[in-house]
Structure 1
């Protein structure tokens, strides 16, 4: 019975993350901002829901990869921001921790795969913009949507392998 409850909590957690992803994608594409009032509350929401799911699954050790994923992605994006301040926004850094938590729940393969996929998607979009000669010195790429697309690619790939 607790497996059913665990699944319900997981669906709730990832459903909330899906809604947040959609909202943040629209906002970032329009404004090049990821508002703190949306990103920061996602940390405690993820913590509560993913902790509940891990305990209901009887796998509290999974919380190490949740915390680890959040810390590693946050630190990595913070390092990128410090090395090249104009290349990465503060909202991207904060969002990276949230993404890391959700990917961490699924394991380190998901964390790595989601992070790499985000950079691949962002790089492809940047290349298309440059090739279309639409990029100018002042133009910036909203990176949040590509981070989120990378995360969802890893989430769905993990779910697909779990089902097969």
Structure 2
């Protein structure tokens, strides 16, 4: 009778383990979207400094009874430039306030970005050291969070907000919140 050696069993065991990881990884609802540990939980604290003479916001703003978006952005971020018209349209058409968090940027560059493209934000502030971003689990900019009236995170979207994202993910949450009001 042949003796089974551990090295003979190892490759099939590794293969089965990787196959299981692949299978269960593909079962996620949206494989392109990164998971968020914040979904359904209270939004972390707002830790920003004033950006120029623009109005700022704080924790109480996130718990004012209204649905809103928090958008992390930067002037040096090309996808932020791409999503900007969509944020402006969303703010105007839906009347949903968007709060901007300028991430690791020079204030003069951030203010120039808003002067050039327009300011879709109800209020904004700077996170020059990235401390708020760390608390929120930011992977990179742009990143947008939909926050309910009690300050709970309903959705975290990593990447530029497109018309498709608005139509398929953000607008249903807004409509649901309006229906519940």
Normalising by structure 2, report the TM-score.
Answer: 0.26
Q: Which has the higher strand share?
A: 2
Whichever of the two has the greater Rg, that structure is 2
Structure showing greater relative contact order (alpha-carbon pairs closer than 8 Å, 6 or more residues apart): 2
